[in-house]
Amino acid sequence: MKRKEFLAGMKAGMPVCVGYFSVSFGFGAMAIAQGLTIWQAILISASNLTSAGQFAGLTVIAAGAAILEMILTQVVINSRYALMSLALGQRLGQNVGTLKRLAVAFFNTDEVFALGMSRGKNLTPAFFVGAGTVAAIGWTSGTALGAVAGSLLPVSVRMALGVMLYGMFIAIVVPQTREEKPILISVILALIFSCLFTWVPYLNQVSGGLAIVICTVLAAALCAALFPVHDEEVAQ
């Protein structure tokens, strides 16, 4: 049963694998351009699996900033994973042990999270880890190839590859918005808040990572109040 679930997760994660390969190719090329070695770039991708966090971290490394600034940058940008993990913890149930939860936590990226949550009440650790494993392969192998290519590609081409991440996430989320009203409302609210932090004076001075966290918390809190999930529904 676990093997079947793992393979099902790998199959579901193939589109994410392809998208991650394209985005991480750009990261690998940029890492080499900033002075990192091929193996350093690969190690970063193999141990992190955080697109926004890695690109931001690369900027901090290139600037020669202190380790404290790196820590604060990563905490702010990746705080959303704590909220996502809470949702996953409820969906997985109470019978899942600590080791399995740690494995799920490692593979908990935006796109893999969306895949897991779209499976509804049938989500299992094996499925999630399967989807995460194939996604991680795409992310790491793309970084390796991008690092080898180095600065051979024009900057415009490398930057254009980053757009793939957003297109891939939209492709995962949009079908769910058609089926579940709370998801549609949360997406609309997050979009509105994001626009406010982009164009409204003073609000647009907030860092991008912190703005993501605030938008996520506000959208999630409002949807939790508007569409509460009772304990009986979670247990089922």
Percent of the chain having pLDDT more than 90?
25
Do 140 and 227 lie in one domain? The reply is no
**Calpha distance 197→208 (Å, rounded):** 9
Q: How many helices (H) and strands (E) does the chain have?
A: 14, 0
pLDDT at 200: 94
**Calpha distance 50→139 (Å, rounded):** 9
Do 28 and 109 lie in one domain? The reply is yes
Do 162 and 184 lie in one domain? The reply is no
Q: Which residues span the domain enclosing 210? A: 180-236
Compute the average pLDDT of residues 21-34.
Answer: 84
Do 213 and 169 lie in one domain? The reply is no
Give residue 106's pLDDT band: very low, low, confident or very high (50, 70, 90): very high
pLDDT digits (tens, 9 = 90+) for 207-236: 665 677 688 778 888 988 888 866 555 444
Out of 156, 173, 190, a domain closes at 173
In the predicted structure, residue 135 carries a pLDDT above the cut 90: yes
Q: Looking at the 3D structure of the chain, how many domains does it have?
A: 2
Out of 173, 192, 217, a domain closes at 173
pLDDT digits (tens, 9 = 90+) for 58-102: 877 877 777 877 887 788 778 788 888 888 888 887 788 888 888
Do 108 and 197 lie in one domain? The reply is no
Out of 173, 201, 221, a domain closes at 173
Do 198 and 130 lie in one domain? The reply is no
Do 61 and 155 lie in one domain? The reply is yes
Torsion of CA 11, 12, 17, 23, to 10 degrees: 170
